[in-house]
Amino acid sequence: MSRTPPGPFDLVRARPEAAFDFSFDGEPVSARPGQTVAAALWQSGRLAWRSTRDGERPRGAFCGMGVCFDCLVELDGVPNVRACLAPARPGAQVRTQRRDGHADLV
């Protein structure tokens, strides 16, 4: 008889609060309380959410602890927010960071 192995929540006897959604480029992304925007984007299968100034190369989380600037997003209209440090919030509007986030300041 086969048993399903315990999941991570079972192993630590966690009872997490219900998941919620925020928006990423107009599409819903599910997150759990306590997750960062970067963690929720990773969980949803998105590995890149910014492009570089030169060459428009895709970037996502690199260091995961707020030291680098590869994970920048626009969060609720504010550019240059580090997704690895920003807590995911219900209903937040997250957008792909384009270039340096200051195109309107030319």
Asked if 4 contacts 70 with a C-beta cutoff of 8 angstroms, the reply is no
Would you write out the chain's pLDDT as a tens digit for each of its 106 residues? Answer: 678 888 877 877 777 789 999 999 999 999 999 999 999 999 999 998 888 878 888 888 888 888 888 899 999 999 999 999 999 999 999 999 876 655 554 4
Per domain, the residue ranges of the chain are 18-100
Asked if 83 contacts 71 with a C-beta cutoff of 8 angstroms, the reply is yes
> What does the block give as tokens for 35?
């997750």
Flag whether the pTM goes above 0.85: no
CATH number for the segment(s) 18-100: 3.10.20.440
